[in-house]
């Protein structure tokens, strides 16, 4: 029996596993066999909108995107295997973490979805960080909630349920108000010893707002936090129609706990054990380092979240990564079109990235700030993309692209320098995935220089978070020995595959250090640019 026949049999027998992840610019579906090998994919492109000063996706965008992504998957299954998806072994939903989705008793959203990208919550985050003695980032759900309270927003009194994007989709598909512990830890801090929200912080928050007279307590409106492998409900008949309006998909399919993109990235890179880590680099970037012990103190630029099975993770999250770099590549596409040269974006990226490796290790003095939105780690509540050079710098194409590649992970480096240099955190393996690493060896080498650490990339890294949540869905139904999640990944999914590794090059490391010093020294220029742009709006 060949691979195509095997896949067709798996699909028709209802044993295939479906993972769906809502990324910033793409919704992706991955269908796998019971051993987590991908057999089909589907996707839908989408983009956030700036409405009344806040980044959002509409409810219609969410459901149209989900249905179109699933429809694309169905079409690809019909084309490749000549069959229809009628049932599945399990389903997993993942999405961008954090943000703010409050719902009333009627199940309708009370204000437009406020995504992780919004930075209007600085006052709330500062107050809560001091109250909890714990770093509470601007993008966390609790920051959004308290900022709405501080701003006197009338909808707060009507909140019946507060969740993330993944939690919202899961709720509508199953009727269950649950959330994977990794995603939950980006709403409110989690206590690793209880695998639940911090009871102390919930009590402090309830006391903080006690004078407001709201008819709810914090725990009442939050989803139940559950760990990987736990049952999280089944697809209802109504949920099946929401996912597949064609009516072919049947209800009754088990769903794993919905997770955030950070957790699925950890799973997709086999980085859930202490002393392992991963970096995701696409529209935004973040690193996740699984800790052996708690840090010595809170740091404003380091978020504490958990793995899908509840281990403590130090997360450095950057709002900006490859978007500005992609925009520059778009200019080269336009130039090719003007010349009448056939356009292949893959080749444009390949040639530009490889040529960047011929540039100076310090980018010849050039500096790029890729801030399409604010960047809390460097103290910017708003962004303004900026390229900076002086007359004496070595301005050529290789250095220009290299400076923009460095910019894509410069803020990530600033955050991780605290972990490695101040907290002396030890890491045995860092695995990278995301769009930055599509050109083999280039982004990997740049990141190795930034973190001064070997970086591995797996062949499966391109599958991303949709594959990661499919693995978690398979873990729910295909783990008869009830292996702990790290053992399941190591022994069943990856079977020792650590990917291809690139070690840092000494000259690159020294060059990136020099670049970072200039980058930090010139942040005043970026702040001035943001201020000036605001002044002429």
Give percent above pLDDT 70 in the chain.
97
Whether residue 233 lies inside any domain: the answer is no
Q: Cβ–Cβ contacts within 10 Å for residue 245, how many?
A: 13
Whether residue 141 lies inside any domain: the answer is no
Q: What phi-psi label fits residue 91: left (phi over 0), alpha (psi between -120 and 50 degrees) or beta?
A: beta
Which residue is it, tokens 């695995």?
Answer: 431
Whether residue 384 lies inside any domain: the answer is yes
Specify the range with the lowest mean pLDDT, choosing from 160-174, 290-304, 314-328, 490-504: 490-504
Whether residue 491 lies inside any domain: the answer is no
Tally the domains of the chain: 1
* Six-digit token string for 386: 């900026």
Closest residue by Cα to residue 103 from 186, 239, 235, 221: 221
Q: In whole angstroms, give the CA distance from residue 162 to residue 315.
A: 23
Question: For residue range 11-44, what is the model confidence (pLDDT) as tens digits?
Answer: 999 999 999 999 988 999 999 999 999 999 999 9
Q: pLDDT averaged over the chain?
A: 94
Whether residue 174 lies inside any domain: the answer is no
Question: For residue range 493-537, what is the model confidence (pLDDT) as tens digits?
Answer: 998 676 789 999 999 999 999 999 999 999 999 999 999 987 765
Instruction: Kindly indicate the confidence band of residue 1, based on its pLDDT and cuts at 50, 70 and 90.
Output: very low
Whether residue 184 lies inside any domain: the answer is no
Closest residue by Cα to residue 441 from 398, 394, 397, 405: 405
List CB contacts of 462: < 8 A, sequence separation 6 or more: 433, 438
Whether residue 340 lies inside any domain: the answer is yes
Question: For residue range 152-179, what is the model confidence (pLDDT) as tens digits?
Answer: 999 999 999 999 999 999 999 999 999 9
pLDDT at position 476, please?
Answer: 97
Q: In whole angstroms, give the CA distance from residue 455 to residue 431.
A: 6
Whether residue 475 lies inside any domain: the answer is no
* Six-digit token string for 480: 């008869």
Q: In whole angstroms, give the CA distance from residue 533 to residue 537.
A: 6
**By the 8 A CB rule, do 38 and 32 touch?**
yes
Domain enclosing residue 329, as ranges: 323-413+505-535
Q: What is this structure's pTM?
A: 0.85
């Amino acid at each position: 029996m060949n691979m195509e026949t095997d896949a067709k049999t798996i699909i028709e027998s209802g044993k295939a596993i479906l993972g769906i992840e809502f990324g910033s610019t793409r919704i992706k579906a991955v269908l796998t066999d019971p051993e987590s090998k991908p057999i089909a994919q589907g996707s839908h492109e989408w983009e956030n909108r700036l409405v009344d000063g806040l980044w959002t996706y509409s409810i219609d965008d969410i459901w149209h995107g989900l249905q179109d992504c699933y429809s694309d998957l169905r079409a690809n299954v019909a084309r490749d295997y000549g069959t229809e998806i009628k049932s599945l072994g399990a389903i997993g939903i993942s999405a961008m973490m954090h943000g703010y989705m409050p719902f009333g008793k009627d199940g309708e959203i009370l204000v437009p979805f406020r995504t992780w990208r919004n930075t209007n919550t600085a006052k709330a985050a500062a107050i809560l960080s001091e109250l909890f003695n714990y770093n509470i980032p601007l993008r966390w759900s609790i920051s959004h909630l308290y900022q709405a309270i501080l701003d006197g927003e009338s909808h707060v009194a009507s909140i019946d349920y507060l969740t993330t994007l993944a939690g919202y989709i899961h709720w509508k598909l199953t009727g269950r108000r649950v959330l994977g512990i990794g995603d939950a830890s980006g709403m409110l801090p989690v206590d690793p010893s209880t695998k639940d929200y911090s009871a102390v912080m919930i009590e402090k928050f309830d006391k903080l707002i006690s004078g407001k007279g709201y008819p709810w307590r914090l725990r009442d409106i939050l989803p139940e936090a559950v760990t990987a492998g736990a049952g999280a409900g089944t697809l209802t008949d109504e949920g099946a129609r929401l996912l597949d309006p064609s009516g072919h998909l049947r209800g009754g399919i088990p769903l794993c706990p919905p997770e955030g993109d950070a957790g699925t990235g950890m799973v997709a890179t086999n980085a859930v054990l202490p002393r392992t880590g991963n970096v995701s680099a696409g529209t935004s970037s973040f690193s996740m380092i699984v800790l052996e012990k708690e840090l010595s103190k809170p740091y404003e630029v380091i978020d504490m979240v958990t793995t899908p099975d509840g281990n403590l993770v130090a997360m450095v999250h950057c709002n900006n990564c490859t978007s500005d770099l992609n925009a520059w590549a778009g200019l080269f596409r336009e130039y090719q079109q003007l010349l009448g040269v056939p356009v292949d974006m893959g080749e444009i990226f390949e040639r530009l990235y490889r040529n960047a490796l011929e540039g100076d290790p310090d980018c010849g003095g050039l500096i790029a700030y890729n801030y399409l939105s604010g960047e809390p780690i460097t103290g910017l509540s708003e962004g303004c993309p900026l390229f900076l050079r002086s007359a004496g710098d070595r301005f050529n194409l290789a250095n220009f692209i290299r400076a923009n590649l460095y910019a894509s992970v410069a803020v990530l480096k600033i955050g991780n320098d605290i972990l490695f240099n101040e907290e002396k955190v030890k890491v045995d393996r860092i695995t990278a995935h995301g769009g930055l690493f599509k050109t083999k060896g280039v982004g990997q080498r740049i990141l190795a220089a930034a973190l001064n650490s070997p970086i591995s990339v797996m062949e499966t890294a391109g599958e991303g978070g949709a594959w990661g949540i499919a693995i978690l869905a398979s873990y729910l139904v295909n783990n008869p020995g009830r292996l702990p999640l790290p053992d399941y990944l190591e022994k069943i999914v990856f079977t020792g595959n650590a990917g291809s590794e690139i070690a840092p090059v000494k000259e690159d490391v020294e060059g990136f250090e020099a670049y970072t010093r200039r980058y930090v020294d010139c942040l005043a220029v970026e702040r001035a640019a943001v201020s000036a742009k605001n002044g002429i709006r």
